[in-house]
Amino acid sequence: MKHFTQHHLVRTDWTREEIAALFDLPFDELVYQAATVHRAHHAVGQIQLCTLLSIKTGGCPEDCGYCSQSVKADSGVEATKLMDVQQVLQKAAQAADAGSRRFCMGAAWRNPKDRDMPAIVQIVQGVRAMGMETCMTLGMLSPKQADMLAEAGLDYYNHNIDTSPERYNEIITTRTMEDRLDTLAEVRRAGINVCSGGIVGMGETRADRVGFIHTLATLEMHPESVPVNALVPVKGTVLGDMLADTPLAKIDDIEFVRTIAVARITMPMSMVRLSAGRESMSEATQALCFMAGANSIFTGDKLLTAANAGDDKDAALMAKLGLVPMAAEEPLRACKTADAMA
């Protein structure tokens, strides 16, 4: 695999103190700085439209405290088998018709079984044949599985770090932060683009949000895609029950926008995706997120098992804000292409 050199303005040596200082800036100054960085690297007024489908739901042996698909959760989510290849491709075709350029697929596994990989490969190839980008999140990967996905043409692999290293063990005990970073390294080695972000609003402190962004912004290569989720508290999950009816059940909107802005400044060429939790955000909050550098959203009325805003609502909001679907290639991928041709 040929490594490319990220743009000279991209830093991977951020300190926690520097990131904390960004969070502490006056709000208007922080958003202004983030918008300035965004305009230097990304198409102005363009938002990447993505669709997320659960291709295997529930029954996951992990104990992630936020997740309704864990076997430890009493959330009412029923375990299903891996969807049939043709069913997935039908859903992908519907997403393409609705304007999505990227189709993301999630399976509630600790790691894929080798017997499932041929079907996964067929799905990747089928979706790519429709002209859409592909992204998958299947849990931890073996080197062989990562290579199979790369050969199939998978564009992105999603594996979130979720939170700060210090807070991590309070959220998940069945898999370490190091396990997650190892999977990201395996994905990178195989030549697949990395999608990695996390969740805010899990009762963490600002210091945890600093630690979360610091972990991503100091990776040897920034993730090409950084999803930032606001926790959707689900009854029956550890966090959903713990935070229910408390002020911590929803992250403050301004603090969420700050998190988006700091992600944009520290990872200037990455796509920053406004992910789960958007359904409960006001239009004004979403507009501030776009001003602060978010330039990708999930469309459709469902995210894995949680509700989402829906295509019509999204189209209306984008029209109101004068935003259009993204047509250009993501900056970090464009850099890779240029480097490969050099």
Q: Cite the active site residues.
A: 60, 64, 67, 104, 135, 195, 273
Q: CB-based contacts of 312: which residues, under 8 Å, 6+ apart?
A: none
DSSP, residue by residue, 202-253 = SS--HHHHHHHHHHHHTSSS--SEEEEEEP---TTSHHHHHHTTSGGGS--H
CA dist 271 and 330 (Å) reads 7
How many other CB atoms are found less than 10 A from the CB of residue 237? Answer: 25
Looking at 98-236, list the stretches that DSSP marks H as alpha helix, in order from N- to C-terminal side. 117-129, 143-152, 165-171, 177-190, 206-217
Strands 156-158 and 193-195: parallel
The Cα–Cα gap between 92 and 94 comes to 5
Which of 226, 230, 234 shows the shortest CA–CA distance to 253? 230
